[in-house]
Amino acid sequence: MPDNIDLGALAKKALHEALRERGHVNILIAGRTGVGKSTLINSVFQGQLATTGQGKPVTQNTREITKGDIPLSIFDTRGLEMADFDATLRTLRTFVSERSREPDARKHIHVGWVCIAEDLRRVERAEEELTQMLADFMPVIVVITKARADQNFRALVQSMLPRARNVVRVRAIREELDDGHAIPQMGLQELIALTMEVVPEGQRRAVTAAQKVDIALKKKQAHLIVAGAAASAAAVGATPIPFSDAALIVPIQVGMLAGITATFGLSFNEGFLASLVGSVITGAGATMVGRGIVGGLLKLIPGVGSVVGGVISASTAAAITTAFGEAYIAALEALFIKHGNEPPTPAEVLESFKREYGKRS
Ligand SMILES: Nc1nc2c(ncn2[C@@H]2O[C@H](COP(=O)(O)OP(=O)(O)OP(=O)(O)O)[C@@H](O)[C@H]2O)c(=O)[nH]1
Ligand SMILES: [Mg+2]
């Protein structure tokens, strides 16, 4: 009977699996210099990617920007206003076309964002040709940046760039006006919602994890993970095999916590995940006896009495798992909001998780 549980090994395997399932998304962003591409990237994605990410040239005018464990590559393209635009466009075409033929879908460019500044009120040949070319290989969303006053510009853009899947107006940063008023950011959630619609299914988790403008999107995905884990735990509880319940349920819970961690775009390692589980179970070490864990977990659920022979019912197994997952989601949500939607540190998460768990027991 596999009654001893090596939490470290479980956590490692679970994280590996969660990161694999989360996948990776590639977004190409193009537009004239100064339209606000870098500002947009920093406002939409975690980790100040455009400022602190690692860039590597992939063509003469395109850099691939990545950072840490964020499941996103930004392909930042310049040179739209240059005299040799035609050559630049050809080079870019070769690059995206090669990528689109890669057998591994993680190599494809999954969406293009073509940026046009609203204050210029002009769509030029470069933007038309670029949108046209990109649309042969990927869904394109046109982003009208630095939005202040539409005055029918969006409709003009839409008519001039018919191959764009959508046109969205954004203001990437809050603007302070001379009269002391300020106008807030806008359009960023809409841009992410549209992006979620057009990227392939396999990239949606990566978009959810990498973006920071819609925490509710992360929560929704995390709740699905909890529901799945609770159902699996219930199935284990429903099988009358004494003593093995813990050995089967704990891996489900560790997998669930790993999945939530990945969904929120945190880059915590297996040591963190093991501490997370350990933090709420009295007397937990790196290797624990399964029954001990079940006993520990049961104390966290109100109204649950003693465990007879290590057997727990289906509903109890589901309840423990749900409480565990919901406490983690609540902790993460509160911390993201506290940090202006940027990820918290592992120490903060551990502390907040314990507190949220306490509320539920
Ligand atoms: N008011 C306002 N200013 C913005 C907005 N977005 C960007 N800016 C400003 O526009 C300037 C250029 O922004 P960047 O993000 O550097 O533009 P970029 O497209 O990355 O420029 P290159 O990398 O040179 O091609 C900066 O001063 C930004 O602060 C916005 O939504 N509103
Ligand atoms: Mg830039």
* 282 shares its domain with 195: no
Q: Quote the tokens at residue 317.
A: 């197994």
Q: Is the CB of 147 under 6 A from ligand 1?
A: no
* 112 shares its domain with 229: no
Q: How confident is the model at residue 125 (pLDDT cuts 50, 70, 90)?
A: very high
Q: What is the 3-state secondary structure (H, E, C) of 101-131?
A: CCCCHHHCCCEEEEEEEHHHCCCCHHHHHHH
Q: Which position has the token pair 């429903």?
A: 238
Q: How confident is the model at residue 289 (pLDDT cuts 50, 70, 90)?
A: very low
112 domain residue, yes or no: yes
Mutate to test the pocket of ligand 1, among 38, 61, 78 (most ligand atoms within 8 A of CB): 38
Structural domain ending residue among the three candidates 175, 190, 210:
210
Residue 29 has pLDDT above 60, yes or no: yes
Q: How confident is the model at residue 267 (pLDDT cuts 50, 70, 90)?
A: confident
Task: Looking at the CA of residue 78, tell me the nearest atom of ligand 1.
Answer: 25
Instruction: Provide the number of structural domains found in the chain.
Output: 2
How many angstroms separate the CA atoms of 175 and 204, rounded? 31
* 145 shares its domain with 224: no
* 171 shares its domain with 307: no
Q: Is the CB of 145 under 6 A from ligand 1?
A: yes
Other CB atoms closer than 10 Å to residue 244's CB: what's the count? 17
Q: Is the CB of 77 under 6 A from ligand 1?
A: no
348 domain residue, yes or no: yes
246 domain residue, yes or no: yes
Q: Is the CB of 43 under 6 A from ligand 1?
A: no
2 domain residue, yes or no: no
- Amino acid of residue 231: A
Distance, CA of 255 to chain centre: 17
Mutate to test the pocket of ligand 1, among 39, 78, 80 (most ligand atoms within 8 A of CB): 39
How many angstroms separate the CA atoms of 305 and 318, rounded? 16
Cβ neighbourhood burial of 48 (10 Å; 0-12, 13-18, 19+): middle
Nearest Cα residue to 276 out of 344, 347, 227:
347
14 domain residue, yes or no: no
How many angstroms separate the CA atoms of 275 and 125, rounded? 56
Assess contact for 353 and 329: CB atoms under 8 A. Answer: no
How many angstroms separate the CA atoms of 93 and 137, rounded? 9
Q: Is the CB of 38 under 6 A from ligand 1?
A: yes
How many angstroms separate the CA atoms of 259 and 318, rounded? 17
* 178 shares its domain with 280: no
* 277 shares its domain with 205: no
The DSSP H or E segment spanning 65 is: strand 62-66
Structural domain ending residue among the three candidates 174, 194, 210:
210
* 139 shares its domain with 233: no
73 domain residue, yes or no: yes
Residue 206 has pLDDT above 70, yes or no: yes
Q: Quote the tokens at residue 301.
A: 């659920």
How many angstroms separate the CA atoms of 248 and 294, rounded? 11
Q: How confident is the model at residue 360 (pLDDT cuts 50, 70, 90)?
A: confident
Cα Rg of the chain, angstroms:
24
Q: How confident is the model at residue 1 (pLDDT cuts 50, 70, 90)?
A: very low
* 204 shares its domain with 240: no
Q: Kindly report the length of the chain.
A: 361
CB burial of 188-219 (b: ≥16 within 10 Å; e: otherwise) equals bbbbbebbbebbeebbbbbbbbbbbbbeebbb
Q: By alpha-carbon position, which residue is closest to atom 10 of ligand 1?
A: 36
> In the prediction, which pLDDT does 63 show?
96
Q: Is the CB of 37 under 6 A from ligand 1?
A: yes
Distance, CA of 141 to chain centre: 19
Residue 310 has pLDDT above 80, yes or no: no
* 92 shares its domain with 166: yes
For residue 124, give the CATH number of its domain. 3.40.50.300
Assess contact for 109 and 28: CB atoms under 8 A. Answer: yes
* 272 shares its domain with 334: yes
Other CB atoms closer than 10 Å to residue 258's CB: what's the count? 26
How many angstroms separate the CA atoms of 110 and 267, rounded? 23
* 345 shares its domain with 272: yes
Structural domain ending residue among the three candidates 187, 210, 233:
210
- Tell me: the pLDDT tens digits for 226-260? 999 999 988 887 776 655 666 788 889 899 999 99
- Tell me: the pLDDT tens digits for 35-85? 999 999 999 999 999 998 899 999 989 999 999 989 999 999 987 887 889
CA of 85 to the centre of ligand 1 (A): 21
User: Mean pLDDT across the chain, nearest whole number?
Assistant: 88
Q: Is the CB of 39 under 6 A from ligand 1?
A: yes
Q: By alpha-carbon position, which residue is closest to atom 21 of ligand 1?
A: 34
- Amino acid of residue 187: G
The residue-averaged pLDDT of 127-133 equals 96
The residue-averaged pLDDT of 200-225 equals 97
Q: By alpha-carbon position, which residue is closest to atom 2 of ligand 1?
A: 146
Q: Is the CB of 171 under 6 A from ligand 1?
A: yes
Residues in contact with 323: Cβ distance below 8 Å, sequence separation at least 6, in sequence order: 300, 301, 357, 360, 361
The residue-averaged pLDDT of 346-361 equals 86
Other CB atoms closer than 10 Å to residue 149's CB: what's the count? 9
- Tell me: the pLDDT tens digits for 150-181? 999 999 999 999 999 999 999 999 999 999 99
* 30 shares its domain with 90: yes
Other CB atoms closer than 10 Å to residue 50's CB: what's the count? 21
Q: By alpha-carbon position, which residue is closest to atom 12 of ligand 1?
A: 34
> In the prediction, which pLDDT does 263 show?
96
Three-state DSSP class for residue 4: strand
3 domain residue, yes or no: no
Q: How confident is the model at residue 354 (pLDDT cuts 50, 70, 90)?
A: confident
CA of 147 to the centre of ligand 2 (A): 18
Domain of residue 153 covers 22-210
Work out the percent of the chain whose per-residue pLDDT is above 70.
87
How many angstroms separate the CA atoms of 233 and 317, rounded? 5
263 domain residue, yes or no: yes
